[in-house]
């Protein structure tokens, strides 16, 4: 601040992650976006949440405090699927745990209120986004109200927050209120609720009703999901006693030129110099490049599509090449780009918002149960980008580490050939998730493709003269998956003698359709009862089915005997969000 001649900040951002000034980290993105608009921004990373003084080191900001728990929900960061404390926090220096509190967005927001009385506090990030309405919290095994009630924040930004953050700052600068900003939610007091005209809003089942009837979690989730499109999503409200949470329509995604401009901002692309030890999440992404945002798959267990939205935005080839040039100029770059990806690598260059039908569609997935006829699949931009990247000066190898969507890939054999011949590091990630058709249907994943894809991958690898391997990952304990369904996966692994590198033990994230099925024990689409693995024994038995053949007991179903605890360390179990998030 002294070097820049600043006597005060306009905006203070508080984050639960270590501060890495890189576009893969939310606080850094919002900070650079606001800075580009002329605002003076400071960031405090992982403050001492027990002491409000830890937020005062940069002084009181003039406009607002922005709060994020970090790139993950803090409970996912802190706990395993078995509700055990994690041994490492990938988003903290040295991987040490304990630097962020549970429910960090709530704790930091309350801390801001104590440190700066009367200052506007704005929540953002994945934790706030997925907890904006009354929801189920897996770690307490109970329901919680909208995070706004506990956090005492003035405003919540859901989804990717660039547009909303800019408008909030501009309005507060002009002395205006922040009512009606797309992609935001706010909590009304009793008097404001009584006076509010809700004639143009859709009402969600109330917090009190949800506490009385857990099955209401399904209609709550369905309404939020149905109104997720920025083109036709309506305003929502949910009563919490005599108060009310009002949720505006979603913000529009960044367009291609806006994405290019975002990645052209002057990110240092390294951790803050105060850190002396490595930050695992940065080690994973420092040589990777995000080329696409958004996920149209609508998988029922994944928060990425809900947070980033289902509409795709791809960067231009020129923007990506500029970033590659910056990367090659770094003194520690060794010539290998670890990833050109995003939520799904092979959706770069595809479009799902260019036809008028897309503007009125409320379908949660463009790819399930079949690929929509309005979804434009075009692999040419991705092929051109991969070829340009590997020809760039200073680049020796370009790998694709983000997962690919198999049903889309089969429609573009030229892309697959280019990928397998030139861009596999020896291992290629794919996500069959399961092999039983009923479970896959509840996941919104395609059935019957994996073995065909496996054979095609072997043939193309042989044609390229390379020994390469698929890295599939499967989910255990998914709602609707009992011992019978899990045995289908186990038999396949036994037959294939597959040694899985990582598995995903299902974690019910807030606001996910899969979570609604987990809580209610009902199929999301039909309402019929389904088996749910809730107890530790049931979940343990399903994880055991995914162990390596030398560790796995071959007995089937409920008779399958448990492996000894030492043979199945929880440290080898990764969640879907952990597996995917650091790669973009």
* CATH classification for the domain delimited by 426-584, as one of 3.30.750.200, 3.40.50.620, 3.40.50.450, 3.40.1440.10: 3.30.750.200
pLDDT, mean over the chain: 91
| Across 442-464, average pLDDT | 93
Q: Is the pLDDT confidence value at 494 over 90?
A: no
Interatomic CA distance for residues 405 and 352, integer angstroms: 15
Interatomic CA distance for residues 69 and 88, integer angstroms: 17
For residue range 287-342, list pLDDT tens digits in order: 999 999 999 999 999 999 889 999 999 999 999 999 999 999 989 899 999 999 99
Strands 11-15 and 41-45: parallel
Q: What are the two backbone dihedrals, phi and then psi, of residue 79, each rounded to the nearest 5 degrees?
A: -135, 150
Yes or no: say if 421 and 406 are a contact pair by the CB < 8 Å rule: no
Per-residue confidence band for 547, with pLDDT thresholds at 50, 70 and 90 = confident
CATH of domain 287-398: 3.30.750.210
Interatomic CA distance for residues 100 and 79, integer angstroms: 12
- 373 Cβ contact list (under 8 Å, min separation 6): none
User: Out of 167-176, 318-327, 407-416, 570-579, which region has the weakest mean confidence (pLDDT)?
Assistant: 570-579
For residue range 151-188, list pLDDT tens digits in order: 999 999 999 999 999 999 999 999 999 999 999 999 99
Per-residue confidence band for 535, with pLDDT thresholds at 50, 70 and 90 = confident
CATH 3.30.750.200 residue ranges for the chain: 426-584
CATH 3.40.50.2300 residue ranges for the chain: 11-184
For residue range 96-123, list pLDDT tens digits in order: 999 999 999 999 999 999 999 999 999 9
CATH of domain 11-184: 3.40.50.2300
Per-residue confidence band for 582, with pLDDT thresholds at 50, 70 and 90 = very low
Tell me, what's the pLDDT at 175?
Answer: 97
| Across 46-74, average pLDDT | 96
Tell me, what's the pLDDT at 430?
Answer: 87
CATH 3.30.750.210 residue ranges for the chain: 287-398
Instruction: Report which of residues 207 and 431 the model is more confident about.
Output: 207
Read off the tokens for 575: 């969640």
User: Out of 483-492, 507-516, 558-567, which region has the weakest mean confidence (pLDDT)?
Assistant: 558-567
Tell me, what's the pLDDT at 568?
Answer: 31
Read off the tokens for 140: 């307490």
Tell me, what's the pLDDT at 550?
Answer: 56
Other CB atoms within 10 Å distance of the CB of residue 554: 10
Strand ranges in 194-309 using DSSP code E only, listed in sequence order: 202-204, 236-240, 243-247, 288-290, 292-293
Q: Is the pLDDT confidence value at 18 over 70?
A: yes
Partners of 247 in the β-ladder: 185, 236
Yes or no: say if 303 and 367 are a contact pair by the CB < 8 Å rule: no
Interatomic CA distance for residues 292 and 313, integer angstroms: 6
Query: Nearest Cα to 512, choosing from 133, 210, 147, 209?
Result: 133
Percent of the chain residues past pLDDT 90, beyond the cut: 84
Q: Is the pLDDT confidence value at 60 over 50?
A: yes
Q: Is the pLDDT confidence value at 540 over 90?
A: no
């Amino acid at each position: 601040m002294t070097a820049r001649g600043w006597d005060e900040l306009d905006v203070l951002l508080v984050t639960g992650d270590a501060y890495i000034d890189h576009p893969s980290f939310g606080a850094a993105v919002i900070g650079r976006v606001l800075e580009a608009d002329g605002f003076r921004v400071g960031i405090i990373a992982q403050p001492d949440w027990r002491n409000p003084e830890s937020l005062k080191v940069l002084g009181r900001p003039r406009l607002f405090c922005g709060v994020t728990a970090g790139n993950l929900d803090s409970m996912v960061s802190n706990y395993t699927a078995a509700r055990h404390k994690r041994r490492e926090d990938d988003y903290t220096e040295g991987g040490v745990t304990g630097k962020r509190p549970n429910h960090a967005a709530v704790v930091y927001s309350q801390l801001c209120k104590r440190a700066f009385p009367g200052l506007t506090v704005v929540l953002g990030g994945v934790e706030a986004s997925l907890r904006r309405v009354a929801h189920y919290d897996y770690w307490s095994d109970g329901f919680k109200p909208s995070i706004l009630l506990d956090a005492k924040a003035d405003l919540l930004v859901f989804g990717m927050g660039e547009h909303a953050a800019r408008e909030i700052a501009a309005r507060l600068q002009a002395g205006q209120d922040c009512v009606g900003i797309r992609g935001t939610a706010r909590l009304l007091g009793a008097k404001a609720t009584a006076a509010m005209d809700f004639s143009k809003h859709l009402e969600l089942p109330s917090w009190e009703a949800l506490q009385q009837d857990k099955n209401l979690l399904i209609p709550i989730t369905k309404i939020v999901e149905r109104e997720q499109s920025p083109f036709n999503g309506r305003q929502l409200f949910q009563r919490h006693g005599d108060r009310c949470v009002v949720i505006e329509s979603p913000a529009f995604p960044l367009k291609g030129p806006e994405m290019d401009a975002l990645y052209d901002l002057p990110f240092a692309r390294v951790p803050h110099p105060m850190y002396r030890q490595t930050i695992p999440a940065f080690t994973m992404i420092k040589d990777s490049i995000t080329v696409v945002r958004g996920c149209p798959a609508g998988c029922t267990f994944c928060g990425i599509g809900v947070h980033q939205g289902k509409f795709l935005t791809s960067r231009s080839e020129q923007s990506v090449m500029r970033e590659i040039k910056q990367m090659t100029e770094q003194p520690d770059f060794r010539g290998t780009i670890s990833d050109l990806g995003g939520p799904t690598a092979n959706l770069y260059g595809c479009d799902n918002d260019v036809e008028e039908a897309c503007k009125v569609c409320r379908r949660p997935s463009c790819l399930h149960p079949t690929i929509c006829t309005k979804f434009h699949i075009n692999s040419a931009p991705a092929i051109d980008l991969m070829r340009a990247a590997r020809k760039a000066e200073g680049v020796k190898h370009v790998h694709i580490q983000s997962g690919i969507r198999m049903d889309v890939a089969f429609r573009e054999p030229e892309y697959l050939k280019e990928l397998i011949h030139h861009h596999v590091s020896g291992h290629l990630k794919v996500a069959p998730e399961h092999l039983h058709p009923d479970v896959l249907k509840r996941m919104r994943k395609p059935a019957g493709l994996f073995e065909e894809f496996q054979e095609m991958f072997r043939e193309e690898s042989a044609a390229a003269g390379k020994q390469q391997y698929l890295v599939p990952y499967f989910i255990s304990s998914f709602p609707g998956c009992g011992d019978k369904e899990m045995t289908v996966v186990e038999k396949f692994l036994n037959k294939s003698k597959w040694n899985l590198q990582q598995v995903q033990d299902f974690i019910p994230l807030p606001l996910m359709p899969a979570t609604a099925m987990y809580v209610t024990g009902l199929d999301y689409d039909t309402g019929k009862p389904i088996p749910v693995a809730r107890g530790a024994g049931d979940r343990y038995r399903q994880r055991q089915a995914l162990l390596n053949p030398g560790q796995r007991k071959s007995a089937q179903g409920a008779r399958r005997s448990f492996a000894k605890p030492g043979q199945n360390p929880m440290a080898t179990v990764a969640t879907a969000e952990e597996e995917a998030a650091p790669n973009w």
